[in-house]
Structure 1
Amino acid sequence: MNFVIKHTWDSLPVTHDPVNVKFSPGDGGLLMEVSAPFFNDPEAPSGPPGQPFPGLWDYEVVESFFLDSTTEKYLEVEVCPHGQHLILLLSGRGNAFMQQLPLSFHASVNGDRWNGTALLPWRYFPPGVNKMNSYAIHGSGAKRTYEALYPVPRDEIAEGQGPNFHLLEYFQDFKLQGIMGDDWVQPESDLWKTKC
C-alpha cells in the first residue's frame, strides 16, 4: 500500500518530487518504506544512527501516525535520513505516555534522495487502528516546510494557525487488514493493556 505526500500541511502543492511511504507485511510487524528527496537541512541529529532521538521532529523527518479514532489512542513513528528514529505511543491528542522505544530501522542517502526501511512491531499499534496520516518535514528557519498526506483544507484554516500533526480529525480511513489480508487479526499488545 503506497502513499504519496503531495501537499503542505495547509493544502498547497509541494514544489519538489514528493515523499513516498509504502506499507507491506513484515516479519512480526508492519514494514514501512520511505523514499524521499534528501534536503540535508537541518544537519543530522547528534545521536547515533539506529537509535531513538528525542525531539527528532525538529530535524528532517518522515512521520506516520496510526490511530484508533474511537479512543484517540495512536502510534507515532518518525524516521530520519541520517538513521535516527523516534516512536511515541499516545493516549489522547498529543499525550505521549511512552516514547523512545527501540526500532529496527535503516536509512541510506544516495545523492539527492534517501530511502529508509523500518519494521514496526505489532505491539506498538493500539487495538482497533482505523485512521492514519503521514507527514514530512524539512528545512530550517523561515524555510521550514511541513507536508501532510491528508492536509487541513484551505477553507478550514483559522487565522494565525500553524502546522499541527495531532489534528486527528483530518486523519483518513485506514485498515491494517487492507495490507495483511481480510482474515488477519491484530495481535494483542502488552504496551496498550493499561491504556485501553
Structure 2
Amino acid sequence: MAHDENAGALAAERAMKATSSGRGDSAVVTPRMNHFTKQAVDAALKGYDFVIDHTWDGQPVAHEPFSIHLQWHFERVPGKPHKRVIRCIIEGPLFDDPEPPDDLPGICPGLWEYEVVELFFANRRDQYVEIEVGPHGHWLVYLHDGVRKAFNKGEELELNVQNTFEGNTWRCTVEIPLAYFPSAVRTFNAYAIHGSGSERHYEALYPVTDGTHTEPDFHRLEYFQNIDMKRIVPEGYNDVAFSDLFYGDLWQGKH
C-alpha cells in the first residue's frame, strides 16, 4: 500500500503541474483524468471546513452556527471553457429576517443589508475578492485593489448559486470561478449577517476587533487568518491571477 500511495502522490503532482502550465485555457495542458489520476488529485486537494461560531467581536453565537466547506471542482463542459471553480457549501439556520430583497434572484446591489453570508479571500497586497450570497437566490461579487477599493461595479460577475431548504436549515452551494481570485491568496475570513434594526447580528469566522473597535467592519484585513490554497486549488494556480476564455484576466494590470 505504501508504494501505491507514493505513486498516487506522484501522479497528483504531475497532474497538477500539467494543468497549471499556462494561465489561460489556450495555454493550459489538461491531463487525461483517468480514474487513478483523479483519485490522486482529489486526495491531494483536501479542501477546508470552517464554522462561524462567534460574533464579529468574539462572543459565542446563540444559535446553530454556520458551516462552510471549500473544495476544488474541475469540469469539462462541451463547447464551452472548462469549469475551474472553488465550490463552497454553506449550511446554517434560515432566519428570514429581514424580508428578502425586491430584486429577482441574481446580482443584487446592497445585498449586505439583508440576510447574507460573505466570503473574503485576500493576498498580502491588500487585494481581495468579496463574495456575498443570500438564501433567496441573490449574490454579489466585488474585486478590491486596496481596502474598500473595488474596481468593478458588482453588477457584472455571475455566480452559480443553488439554495435548498430543510425545515429552518439553509444550504447554499456556490461555485466561485478561479478567475475572480487575486494572485497569491494567503488569508481568509467569512461572515454571517441577519436580523433587523437593533436585532441585527454580525458574525465572523475570525473576530474583526482586538477590543478597540465598537462597530463591525468586515474589511479589516489585519484580522484575517492564513489559508493554505494548496489544499483547495492545484499547484501553480494560486501563483498568478487566472485568465480563462470566458472571463479573461480580471486582475490585468493589478498583479
TM-score band, normalised by shorter chain = over 0.9
Q: Which has the larger radius of gyration?
A: 2
Contact 1:44 1:82 in 2 (8 A): yes
- Match of 2:174, SS? strand
Residue 166 of structure 1: CA displacement? 0.3
- Aligned counterparts, 1:174-193, within 5 A: 174-181=227-234, 183-186=235-238, 188-189=242-243, 190-193=249-252
Q: Distance in 2 between matches of 1:41 and 1:188?
A: 37
Q: String of CA shifts for 1:100-158, please: whole Å, max 9, x gaps.
A: 311111112222110111110010000000000000000000000000000035xx222
Q: How many residues align?
A: 190
Q: Which residue of 1 aligns with 2:164?
A: 108
Q: Distance in 1 between matches of 2:183 and 2:121?
A: 10
- Greater percentage in strand: 1
Q: Distance in 2 between matches of 1:184 and 1:194?
A: 20
Q: Which residue of 1 aligns with 2:218?
A: 165
Q: Which residue of 2 aligns with 1:67?
A: 122
Code of the residue aligned with 1:53 in structure 2: it is C
Matched, 1:86 2:145: no
**Residue of structure 2 aligned with 1:39, choices 95, 98, 102:** 95
Q: Which residue of 2 aligns with 1:11?
A: 58
Q: Distance in 2 between matches of 1:175 and 1:75?
A: 16
- TM-score normalized by the length of structure 2: 0.72
Code of the residue aligned with 1:80 in structure 2: it is G
Residue 184 of structure 1: CA displacement? 4.6
Runs of 4+ in 1 over 6 A off after TM superposition: none
- TM-score normalized by the length of structure 1: 0.92
- Greater percentage in helix: 2
Q: Which runs of 5+ in 2 are unaligned?
A: 1-47, 75-83, 244-248
